[in-house]
């Protein structure tokens, strides 16, 4: 589904990604872990197409298309979804209206008719249950005055509505209490299927107790320095990131 080869990216003159290789197949959940500043969020942003980052090398194939050639909106319409670490507020635009616009833009791209009000409402009701989100929240301005937990649930709700092929969760666990974390994780687990894939970016192992990954990768200084199964996450949790740093430094000397 997604094949990243030797991906390098920078912001201004500062190299952040220094050669990422990663392949994700349908049905898989990959976790990217790493200390602050290792490039985790940059990777998520580059894949989603935030223009502030300049790709300086490598390639990304997404479902047979050159992802890096696509505009951010076309990436989204091809089935790539990013759950933001910091979801933005749009005053005066209700969440419902926003999602409806997004869903219908995607349908237009796929050559489908827009959903009418009844169809849309039906789908929405169905997906609301997944993340235990309240109707009243959806009629309020997008993310305006939402608590941290509500914002993250709203991200997962949007994901459910848009049914992406590949969803990237950028530190979705940050700022969540344990109940909210469980709700968000349950939502993700409900959406897991043999046809889609997830890339879960996180700093802590905690989230991976709920969303159990097939593969765990450790990002450090712009490179994936370790890959393994979920046991790797547990090892990290136990030993902290310093042991990875020490190992990497020993190797490079």
Partner 1 sequence: MLNFADSKLEQIMQEEQEDILEQITNSDYKYGFVTDIEADEAPMGLTEDTVKFISAKKNEPSWMLEYRLKAFRHWQTMETPEWANLTFPAINYQDIIYYSAPKQKVAPNSLDEIDPELRKTFEKLGISLDEQKRISGIAVDAVIDSVSVATTFREELSKVGVIFCSMSDAIQEHPDLIKKHLGSVVPATDNYFTALNAAVFSDGSFCYIPKGVRCPMELSTYFRINAANTGQFERTLIVAEEGSYVSYLEGCTAPMRDENQLHAAVVEIVAMEKAEVKYSTVQNWYPGDKEGKGGIYNFVTKRGICAGNHSKISWTQVETGSSITWKYPSVILKGDYSIGEFYSVAVTNNYQQADTGTKMVHLGKNTRSRIVSKGISAGKSQNSYRGLVSVAKNASDARNFSQCDSLLLGDKCGAHTFPYIEVKNNTAMVEHEATTSKIGEDQIFYCNQRGIDTETAVALIINGFAKEVMNQLPMEFAVEAQKLLAISLEGSVG
Q: Which of residues 80-99 bind partner 1 (CB under 8 A)?
A: 81-82, 84, 87-93, 97-99
Question: Nearest 5°: phi and psi at 167?
Answer: -110, 130
Please say which residue, 11 or 234, places its beta carbon nearer to partner 1: 11
Q: Is 72 in the site for partner 1 (CB under 8 A)?
A: yes
* Beta carbon of residue 157, minimum distance to partner 1 (angstroms, whole number): 12
Query: Which residue in 6, 23, 25, 37 binds partner 1 (CB under 8 A)?
Result: 37
Whether the Cβ atoms of residue 214 and residue 192 lie closer than 8 Å to each other: no
Please say which residue, 11 or 55, places its beta carbon nearer to partner 1: 11
CA 154/CA 225 separation, integer angstroms: 33
Say which residue the tokens 């319409």 belong to. Answer: 77
Say which residue the tokens 């500062």 belong to. Answer: 14
Q: Which of residues 11-30 bind partner 1 (CB under 8 A)?
A: 11-12, 14, 16
Site map 42..61 versus partner 1, x via CB under 8 A: x-----xxxxx---------
Please say which residue, 86 or 243, places its beta carbon nearer to partner 1: 86
CA 151/CA 145 separation, integer angstroms: 9
CA dihedral 206, 207, 213, 217 (to 10 degrees): -70
Backbone Cα Rg of the chain = 18
Q: Is 76 in the site for partner 1 (CB under 8 A)?
A: yes
Say how many CA atoms lie within 13 Å of 247 toward its Cβ: 11
DSSP state of 193: -
Token pair recorded at residue 16: 């952040």
* Beta carbon of residue 230, minimum distance to partner 1 (angstroms, whole number): 26
Please say which residue, 158 or 202, places its beta carbon nearer to partner 1: 158
Q: Is 253 in the site for partner 1 (CB under 8 A)?
A: no
Question: Nearest 5°: phi and psi at 210?
Answer: -100, -40
Site map 102..121 versus partner 1, x via CB under 8 A: x--xx--x------------
Token pair recorded at residue 23: 């392949």
Residues that bind partner 1 (CB under 8 A): 11-12, 14, 16, 36-37, 42, 48-52, 71-73, 75-77, 81-82, 84, 87-93, 97-99, 101-102, 105-106, 109, 141, 158, 162
């Amino acid at each position: 589904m997604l094949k990243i080869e030797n991906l390098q990216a920078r912001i201004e003159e500062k190299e952040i990604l220094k050669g990422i290789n990663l392949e994700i197949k349908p049905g898989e959940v990959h976790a990217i872990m790493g200390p602050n500043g290792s490039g985790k969020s940059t990777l998520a942003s580059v894949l989603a197409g935030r223009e502030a980052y300049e790709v300086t090398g490598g390639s990304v194939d997404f479902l047979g298309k050159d992802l890096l050639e696509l505009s951010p909106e076309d990436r989204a319409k091809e089935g790539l979804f990013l759950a933001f670490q910091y979801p933005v507020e749009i005053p005066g635009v209700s969440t419902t209206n926003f999602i409806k616009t997004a869903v219908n833009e995607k349908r237009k791209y796929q050559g489908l008719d827009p959903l009418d009000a009844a169809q849309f409402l039906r789908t929405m009701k169905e997906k609301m249950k997944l993340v235990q989100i309240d109707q009243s929240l959806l009629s309020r301005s997008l993310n305006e005055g939402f608590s941290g937990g509500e914002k993250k649930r709203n991200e997962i709700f949007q994901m459910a509505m848009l049914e992406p092929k590949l969803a990237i969760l950028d530190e979705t666990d940050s700022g969540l209490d344990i109940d909210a974390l469980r709700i968000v994780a349950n939502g993700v687990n409900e959406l897991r299927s043999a046809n889609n894939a997830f890339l879960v970016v996180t700093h802590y192992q905690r989230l991976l107790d709920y969303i159990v990954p097939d593969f765990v990768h450790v990002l450090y200084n712009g490179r994936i320095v370790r890959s393994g199964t979920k046991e790797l996450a547990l090892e990290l949790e136990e030993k902290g990131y310093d042991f990875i740093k020490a190992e990497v430094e020993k190797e490079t000397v």
